[in-house]
């Protein structure tokens, strides 16, 4: 099965659930026999539960983790973080245009742009190169207004309350 029409979706905002929403879409696509590739920007730690699940759903679901372990300094990003983000974007372009995938998810690509790891123009260029029958999803906080403008669907997750503020750490199987 192939998509008749591929669109561009953006999941952004300060609330929890952007990556999870994109994984839900991936799960639905795999259920219909579509091939999915997720490139995770700035997520060099792990392994995360979604990578373990992808191994079980291979070859329909592929997840590629990129970035260094730990947090990126958003005020003064390390040159290595910029280099890894550029490499991840090149890989994303390769996967997006390969003809192998029906859905390509760039997890935290919006965050990579907002933290200065990638110029917004590079992400916009990739969006313009999207083949007509491939769905593209971009997740991450602080989606650039030009990315929002170029997308077909934009969903904003808004934090109302988060247990992290009450001292609950990231939990295995829920956040990682």
User: pLDDT per residue over 61-99, tens digit each?
Assistant: 999 999 999 889 988 999 999 999 999 999 999 999 999
Percent of the chain past pLDDT 90, that is, above it, reads: 80
Cα–Cα distance, 172 to 150 (Å, whole number): 35
> For residue 5, which of 127, 131, 99 has the smallest C-alpha distance?
131
- What's the whole-model pTM score? 0.94
Q: Where are the domains of the chain?
A: 8-157
Q: pLDDT-derived band of residue 30, with 50, 70 and 90 as boundaries?
A: very high
Region 131-136: what's the mean pLDDT?
A: 98
Read off the pLDDT of residues 10-21 as tens digits, 9 standing for 90 and up: 999 999 999 999
Q: Are strands 8-12 and 61-65 parallel, antiparallel or unpaired?
A: unpaired
Q: 65 with 46: CB under 8 angstroms? A: yes
Region 106-124: what's the mean pLDDT?
A: 97
pLDDT above 90 for 166: no
CATH number of 8-157: 3.40.50.300
pLDDT above 90 for 173: no
Q: What is the pLDDT of residue 133?
A: 97
């Amino acid at each position: 099965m192939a998509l008749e029409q591929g669109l561009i979706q953006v999941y952004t905002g300060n609330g929890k659930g952007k990556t999870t929403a994109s994984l839900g879409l991936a799960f639905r696509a795999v259920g219909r026999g579509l091939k999915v590739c997720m490139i995770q920007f700035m997520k060099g730690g792990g392994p995360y539960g979604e990578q373990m699940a992808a191994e079980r759903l291979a070859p329909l679901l592929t997840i590629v983790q990129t970035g260094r372990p730990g947090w990126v300094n958003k005020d003064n990003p390390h040159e290595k973080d910029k280099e890894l983000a550029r490499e991840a974007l090149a890989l994303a372009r390769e996967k997006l245009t390969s003809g192998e995938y029906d859905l390509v998810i760039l997890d935290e690509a919006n965050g990579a742009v907002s933290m200065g790891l990638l110029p917004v123009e590079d992400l916009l260029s990739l969006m313009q190169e999207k083949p007509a029958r491939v769905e593209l999803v971009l997740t991450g906080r602080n989606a650039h207004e030009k990315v929002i403008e170029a997308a077909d669907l934009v969903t904003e997750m808004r934090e109302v309350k988060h247990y992290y503020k009450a001292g609950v750490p990231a939990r295995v199987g829920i956040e990682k």
